[in-house]
């Protein structure tokens, strides 16, 4: 019996006015890792809820283990075979209970007792890095730690089908690898996984992929069958990549600025225009194989953002806009921030990176004056943080930025009043910028009804209503799809490059770290690396050597074998990245008895910097 059979599924909201899923068909076989990808609002979450019997579908055929989820009475016994993790931070957790108490509660719920319970609990908590935090209340965990605890709770019993709606949202790269090891181990025991993700490297690990847009299936199949593009993909290097990036919009809606390079898809009919632009701007264009992000971008398309002058700050700030000197922040005996120092220049995009619980959010809140530092000195705009300085700052928090029972416009009016902007001024501004953020149709909708990407856009706009010269963004793109994230970064770049806004941002997407002028990497409250992305990558390359990608169907097994032979490794999708000061060739791998499908040269990325600096610091 197949875990899920779906044919011509249709799901609507608001009495049929909004179509969430339209004529969707797919089949999940036993032992699959079936992965859904697609832009926010594509219908992924609605589909998952219908599969689990949480949401009633309108029409079509849907069977979960051979039973119709719309038939509540017949479906009740089937629920014991399913574990469902909804989208959002800690949605299935009890915030006042400790980490261990939450896991125990779910163990009681599923009837897991005795030695089996303790064994599984210890395995899950240690694998996810939560064992040392088992006495901490769930409500006091970082967002990523909540996600890991949610996963522990639904895995405490042995469900036949795991339905996971973006389980790694807000989780750092090291922890994401730990979670995927856990999922692979359960999958090998025979469990089936139905999963959605905004991390496209994770989507490579699926046995089947399905790309959705506007409730419809765009393409589905194995990774090898799906990752094909009609356009040619180029990686562009130039002395002025930003200028090349801007001009490419005249040819295609697919350019992506990747640090000091540009990646673009050029359709056949535009190749001549592309070559003319290349000759005019004198840039180098290397053809590369398409990846899943290229497919995503080609099928969905990017949208160019041009900000109006209304966001230009009215207040000048000094060159050294944010100064942090040897800051320590303690909560009782726990040191969350331990002697951190750095300076952010005016107009700089400054990234704060680090694993969950590293102290990034605590540091931001201390700089903002929401916490008082235990010791050290902080100045913002040349002054200690106070009421006057706070008016110069726009802030979006990791966990809370909007009131869900208010409409979009009501939220914007509320946050405008917080920043001293009158309702009439907010309405006037919104009329100008709503088309830029594509919010026109959502202004009178309650925030609770909106897809995550729209909520994040509203939160960002809320922080910009008073045209601040300084912007603090705590994981603003967490859980947002690649197309939506590109919009965010176009806004951030325009604010920085065009208007001189100083931006301090945290993120778990390591490709976004490439967009920053400089980054500070934190771990366990301390600063472990500081510099431009290029500098940090060059320093790591000197230590590790050249990078190579080994293609395989069993990435975790291959990584273990390579490690046993003394190689430094990292995972990316189904590929294992290996680093060596000596050349690595196919003949060399064969001599070592290492099975592989293909070997390619690669390069050091910010994800490599993150993984190795954090692991070496532990």
Instruction: Answer whether residue 303 is part of any domain.
Output: no
- Contact between 164 and 196 under an 8 Å Cβ cutoff? The reply is yes
* 70-129 confidence digits (pLDDT tens): 999 999 999 989 999 888 766 788 999 999 999 999 999 888 888 989 998 998 898 888
Tens of pLDDT along 524-582?
999 999 999 999 999 999 999 999 999 887 888 888 899 999 999 887 777 899 999 99
CA distance 30 to 42: 25
Among 13-17, 110-114, 215-219, 546-550, which stretch is predicted with the lowest mean pLDDT? 13-17
Q: Is the pLDDT of residue 487 over 60?
A: yes
pLDDT digits 0-9 by tens, 26-53 = 999 999 999 999 887 889 999 999 999 9
Same domain, 414 and 449: yes
Give the phi and the psi of residue 420 in degrees, each rounded to 5: 85, 20
Question: With contact defined as beta carbons under 8 Å apart, do 568 and 577 qualify?
Answer: no
pLDDT at 570: 83
Average pLDDT, the chain: 90
Q: How confident is the model at residue 201 (pLDDT cuts 50, 70, 90)?
A: confident
In a domain, 294, yes or no: no
The reply to whether 249 and 209 lie within a common domain is: no
Q: How many CB atoms lie within 10 A of CB 286?
A: 10
Same domain assignment for residues 76 and 18: yes
**Within-domain flag for 27:** yes
Tell me, what's the pLDDT at 574?
A: 76
pLDDT recorded at residue 183: 84
Same domain, 406 and 436: yes
Instruction: Name which of 64, 37, 52 is nearest 92 in CA terms.
Output: 52
Instruction: Tell me what the mean pLDDT of segment 319-335 comes to.
Output: 95
Supply the pLDDT for residue 575.
Answer: 85
- In this prediction, residue 90 carries a pLDDT of 67
Under the banding of pLDDT at 50, 70 and 90, the label for residue 367 is very high
Range in 236-250, 264-278, 474-488 with the lowest mean pLDDT: 474-488
SS3 224: helix
Q: Which range is least confidently modeled, 103-117, 247-261, 395-409, 416-430?
A: 395-409
Give the contacts of 239 (CB within 8 A, at least 6 positions apart). Answer: none
Residues 345 and 477 in one domain: yes
In a domain, 370, yes or no: yes
CB-side neighbour CA atoms (13 Å) of 472: 23
Per-residue confidence (pLDDT) for residue 617, from 0 to 100: 52
For residue 618, what pLDDT band results from cuts at 50, 70 and 90? very low
Determine the structural domain holding residue 540 and report its residue range.
535-617
Q: Which residue has the higher pLDDT, 337 or 179?
A: 337
- On the 0-12 / 13-18 / 19+ scale of CB atoms within 10 A, 477 is buried
Domain total for the chain? 4
SS3 at position 600: strand
List Cα–Cα distances, 92 to 78, 88, 133, 170, in angstroms. Answer: 19, 9, 18, 16
Q: Examine the domain organization and report whether 407 and 360 are in the same domain.
A: yes
Residue 168 sits in the same domain as residue 207: yes
More confident residue, 369 or 357: 369
Which structure tokens are listed for 363? 């540091």
Residue whose token pair is 């395995």 = 123
Give percent above pLDDT 90 in the chain: 60
Q: Residue 400 — pLDDT band, cuts 50, 70, 90?
A: low
pLDDT tens profile 583-596: 999 999 999 888 88
Give dist(CA 248, CA 285) in Å, integer.
Answer: 12
The answer to whether position 450 is within a domain reads: yes
Q: Specify the pLDDT at position 69.
A: 97
**Most distant CA pair in the chain: distance in Å?**
73
Q: Give the pLDDT of residue 452.
A: 78
Residues 339 and 442 in one domain: yes
**Residue 503 and residue 557 in one domain:** no
Is residue 299 included in any domain, yes or no?
no
Please report the sign of the dihedral spanned by the C-alpha atoms of residue 395, residue 396, residue 401, residue 406.
Answer: positive
Q: What is the dihedral of CA 441, 447, 448, 450, to 10 degrees?
A: 40
My answer on whether 518 and 461 are in the same domain is yes
Find the distance separating the first CA and the last CA of the chain, reported in whole Å.
46
Is the domain of 503 the same as that of 589? no
Is residue 27 domain-shared with residue 135, that is, in the same domain?
A: yes
Tell me the pairing of strands 261-266 and 232-237. antiparallel
Nearest to 397 by CA among 199, 140, 143, 197: 143
Tokens representing 617?
Answer: 């610091």
| Position 607 in a domain | yes
Q: What is the pLDDT of residues 436-446, one digit of tens each?
A: 888 999 999 99
Tokens in use for 401?
């930025």
Indicate the SS3 state at residue 40.
coil
385 vs 391: CA distance, rounded Å: 10
* CA gap 515, 502 in Å, rounded: 14
The residue among 528, 557, 588 that closes a domain is: 528
Residue 616 has pLDDT above 80, yes or no: no
The answer for residues whose C-beta is within 8 angstroms of residue 566's C-beta and 6 or more apart is none
Average pLDDT over residues 328-339: 94
| Domain-located, residue 411 | yes
Domain's final residue, options 506, 528, 550: 528
Q: Residue 278 sits in a domain of what CATH number?
A: 3.30.70
Domain with residue 80: its CATH number is: 3.40.50.300
Instruction: Please give, one letter per residue, the 3-state secondary structure of 492-533.
Output: HHHHHHHHCCEEEEECCCHHHHCCCCEEEEEECCEEEEEECH
Pull the structure tokens for residue 461: 């706009």
Domain boundary among 496, 528, 560: 528
């Amino acid at each position: 019996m197949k875990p899920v059979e779906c044919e011509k599924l249709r799901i609507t909201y608001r009495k049929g006015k909004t179509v969430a899923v339209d004529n969707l068909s797919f089949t999940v076989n036993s032992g699959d890792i079936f992965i859904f990808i697609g832009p926010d609002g594509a219908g992924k979450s609605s589909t998952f809820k219908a599969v689990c019997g949480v949401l009633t579908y309108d029409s079509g055929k849907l069977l979960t283990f051979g039973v119709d989820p719309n038939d509540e009475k017949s479906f009740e016994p089937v629920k014991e075979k399913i574990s469902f993790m909804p989208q959002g931070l800690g949605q299935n957790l009890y915030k006042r209970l400790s980490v261990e108490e939450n896991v125990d509660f779910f163990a009681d719920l599923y009837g897991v007792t005795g030695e089996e319970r303790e064994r599984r609990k210890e395995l899950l908590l240690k694998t996810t890095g939560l064992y040392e935090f088992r006495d901490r209340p769930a409500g006091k965990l970082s967002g990523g730690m909540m996600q890991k605890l949610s996963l522990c709770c639904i895995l405490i019993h042995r469900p036949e089908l795991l339905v996971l709606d973006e389980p790694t949202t807000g989780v750092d790269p090291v922890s994401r690898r730990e979670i995927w090891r856990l999922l692979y181990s359960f999958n090998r025991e025979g469990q089936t996984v139905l999963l959605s993700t905004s991390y496209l490297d994770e989507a490579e690990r699926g046995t089947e992929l399905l790309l959705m847009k506007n409730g419809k299936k765009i393409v589905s199949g194995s990774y090898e069958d799906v990752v094909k593009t009609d356009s040619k993909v180029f990686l562009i290097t130039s002395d002025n990549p930003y200028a090349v990036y801007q001009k490419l919009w005249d040819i295609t809606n697919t350019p992506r600025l990747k640090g000091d390079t540009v990646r673009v898809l050029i359709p056949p009919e535009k190749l001549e225009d592309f070559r003319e632009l290349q000759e005019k701007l004198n840039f180098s264009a290397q053809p590369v194989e398409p990846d899943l992000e290229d497919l995503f971008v080609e099928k969905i398309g990017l949208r160019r953002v041009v900000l109006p002058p209304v966001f230009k700050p009215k207040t000048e700030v000094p060159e050294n806009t944010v100064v942090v000197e040897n800051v320590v922040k303690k909560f009782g005996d726990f040191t969350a921030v331990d002697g951190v120092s750095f300076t952010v220049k005016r107009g700089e995009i400054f990234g704060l990176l680090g694993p969950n619980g590293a102290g990034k959010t605590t540091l931001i809140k201390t700089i903002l004056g929401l916490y008082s530092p235990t010791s050290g000195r902080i100045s913002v705009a040349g002054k200690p943080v106070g009421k006057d300085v706070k008016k110069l700052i726009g802030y979006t928090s990791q966990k809370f930025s909007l009131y869900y029972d208010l409409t979009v416009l009501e939220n914007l009016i509320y946050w405008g009043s917080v920043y001293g902007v009158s309702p009439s001024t907010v309405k006037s501004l919104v009329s100008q910028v709503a088309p830029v953020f594509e919010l026109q149709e959502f202004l009178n909708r309650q925030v609770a009804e909106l897809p995550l990407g729209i909520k994040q856009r509203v939160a960002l706009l809320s922080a910009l209503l008073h045209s601040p010269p300084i912007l603090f963004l705590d994981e603003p793109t967490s859980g947002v799809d690649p197309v939506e994230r590109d919009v965010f970064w176009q806004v951030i770049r325009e604010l920085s490059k065009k208007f001189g806004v100083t931006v301090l941002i945290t993120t778990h997407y390591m490709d976004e770290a490439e967009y920053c002028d400089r980054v500070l990497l934190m771990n366990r409250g301390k600063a472990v690396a500081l510099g431009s992305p290029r500098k940090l990558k060059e320093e790591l390359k000197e230590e590790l050597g050249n990078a190579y990608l080994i293609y395989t169907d069993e990435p975790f097994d291959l990584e273990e074998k390579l490690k046993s032979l003394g190689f430094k490794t990292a995972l990316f999708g189904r590929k294992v990245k290996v680093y060596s000061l000596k050349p690595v060739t196919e003949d060399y791998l064969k001599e070592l008895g290492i099975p592989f499908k293909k070997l390619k040269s690669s390069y050091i990325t910010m994800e490599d910097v993150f993984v190795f600096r954090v692991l070496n610091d532990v």
